[in-house]
Amino acid sequence: MTEAAAPDTIVVIDDDYAMRLSCSKILSKMGLRVEAFENGARGLEGVAELKPGLVVVDLKMPGISGLEVISRVHEIDPQIIMVVITGYATIDTAVEAMKCGAYDFLPKPFSPDELRMIINRGLDRRRLALASQRGEVERALLKRRFVTFVSHQLRTPLVAIHQYLDVLKHLDQTKDDPARRQEWIDRCLKRTEELQKLITDWLTLARVEGGTLIKERVEVDLKPIISGILTSYEEMAAAEQVSLEAVWPEDALCVWGDRNCVNVLFDNLITNAIKYNKPGGKVTVTGCLSSGEAAIAVADTGVGIPEQYRPFLFDEFFRIKGEGVKRTEGSGLGLHISKQIVSEMGGSIEVESQAGIGSTFRVRLPAWCAPAEDTEMGGWE
Amino acid sequence: MTMEERRILIVDDDRDFAEAVACFLEANRFTVFKAYDGKQGVKLAKLERPDLILMDIMMNERTEGFFTIQELRRDAELKGIPIFVISSFCTHLPDFEIPESGGWMAHDMFFSKPVDLVQLLDKIRQRLEKAA
């Protein structure tokens, strides 16, 4: 059980007494609990009992080999970080150790600093894995409370609208302010739009589960669709102080699929890129033809997506929480639906993100026209 | 101090809801402060020392209001401020009735969203008169 694990405990398995001693010394000075064992069999017993966050293992030992120790440790807990040390370091042994599930590799002789650095990196990795796992548990709970969740999301905008109308009704005529009245009407309209979008997303989710988002298969030119989306969000982008840009090849960029779905897909990606951007930021949509596919990238200059959240980004209802995260309305379904659209159209979607620099969503969809010669595409790569 | 100079803090992450209720209370001559999350709420409570706090429960996709009430109740200087919970989290809070001794969820009154403005105003006045 991960809950019972001791993340700050390190197990060292090495037949060399001097190595066990020096590893123990260096690592205990880092505030870690270290237990050292002289062979694989004892080491594995120790791992089963202690549930350490990280195991340092010598590759060449009498008895159970280091490689075997790695796979046996992962049978106990696949999340334990394995660091391999070895005296006969070659690229091949390193590669083999990595294949067996080792996280990192340290050739002997090594300095205390090198050991510290590798161990710290391993422990960071472990913490990240634990954090992701917690996210997963949270999502399972969320799904179970689907009805409560959906009702709350529906009720929130409704309550706001109701309250505005109710206050307008109760306000003394003499205190009525036409400008404020107008502003409140605008806000109510915004909230009704929010409601409609929520309902559309949930209906789409129901269709996602049936695997039937695509209703037609026709030739769709991406350029006018994406340009149209960008134009329709100019005002919203200006309000967020975000500029919009598109970089296109001269020729049409056509895919084979459902026009409405393509529209929903890029609408989701572009609104996200605006919403999760920074004032003064930029959204760049680039498109090109590449190896028979239309490759479209939607890049923002926002805060980026923390690595531990990326595996869940396309899951239903997943939304990044925490301090410093902009509060935004929405169903938490946009990317989930987008991914489904892309896969029903036989394409792929990926995300790249760097903290503080921004995120780029890359969509590839099978192109409708056979690609022209490669030399012509070079300029758009 | 007359009722009209009383200060009310609204803690709610829905800016539209906070704005509507604030405007109504201001029209009834209260001074209103708005906070959009629990942390800001505690900060404003310390700074402005309101006479009464209106607290939402579900904020930022968690029951932030519960934690915020706990925090306010633990603060020696703030723990006496009456707190009215206004939430769409549920229609009533059966488990969270205030025990005489003042338990962990010591709010003073519960209203469901959308709130009945006349009733809210009435209860606020009653509560503040009692305090005075």
What pLDDT is stored for residue B8 in this prediction? Answer: 97
CA dihedral A183, A185, A190, A196 (to 10 degrees): 180
Cβ atoms A23, A34 nearer than 8 A: yes
Which residues of chain A have a pLDDT value below 50?
Answer: 1-4, 323, 371, 374-381
Task: Give Dmax over CA atoms of chain A in angstroms.
Answer: 92
Confidence bin at B110 (pLDDT 50/70/90): confident
Residue bearing the bigger pLDDT, B106 or A207: A207
For residue A328, the chain B residue with the least C-alpha distance is B60
Report the C-alpha gap between B39 and B11 in whole angstroms. Answer: 10
Which stretches of chain A are assigned E, i.e. beta strand?
6-13, 33-37, 52-58, 81-86, 104-107, 218-221, 243-247, 254-257, 282-290, 293-300, 348-354, 358-366
- Cα–Cα distances (Å) from A99 to A71, A311, A362, in that order, read 10, 21, 28
Report the C-alpha gap between A135 and A311 in whole angstroms. Answer: 10
Count of helix runs (H) and strand runs (E) in chain A: 12, 12
Cβ atoms B2, B27 nearer than 8 A: no
pTM of full prediction above 0.80: no
| A110 to chain B, closest Cα gap in Å | 48
Task: Please provide the size of chain B in residues.
Answer: 132
- Pick among A159, A165, A194, A328 to test the B interface (most B CBs inside 10 A): A159
pLDDT tens column, B28-67: 999 999 999 999 999 999 999 999 999 998 787 667 787 7
Task: Indicate if the pLDDT at residue B25 is higher than 90.
Answer: yes
Q: Which two tokens mark A147?
A: 């009805």
Amino acid letter, A95: V
ipTM exceeds 0.85: no
- Cα–Cα distances (Å) from A77 to A41, A80, A129, A136, B22, in that order, read 16, 6, 12, 17, 54
Confidence bin at B93 (pLDDT 50/70/90): very low
How crowded is residue A265: how many other Cβ atoms within 10 Å of its Cβ? 32
What pLDDT is stored for residue A381 in this prediction? Answer: 40
Cβ atoms A284, A243 nearer than 8 A: no
Report the C-alpha gap between A67 and A87 in whole angstroms. Answer: 14
Judge: B88–A152 Cβ closer than 8 Å, yes or no.
yes
* Beta-sheet pairing, A293-300 with A282-290: antiparallel
The partner residue sitting opposite B14, judged by closest CB among A156, A172, A180, is A156
Judge: A159–B114 Cβ closer than 8 Å, yes or no.
yes
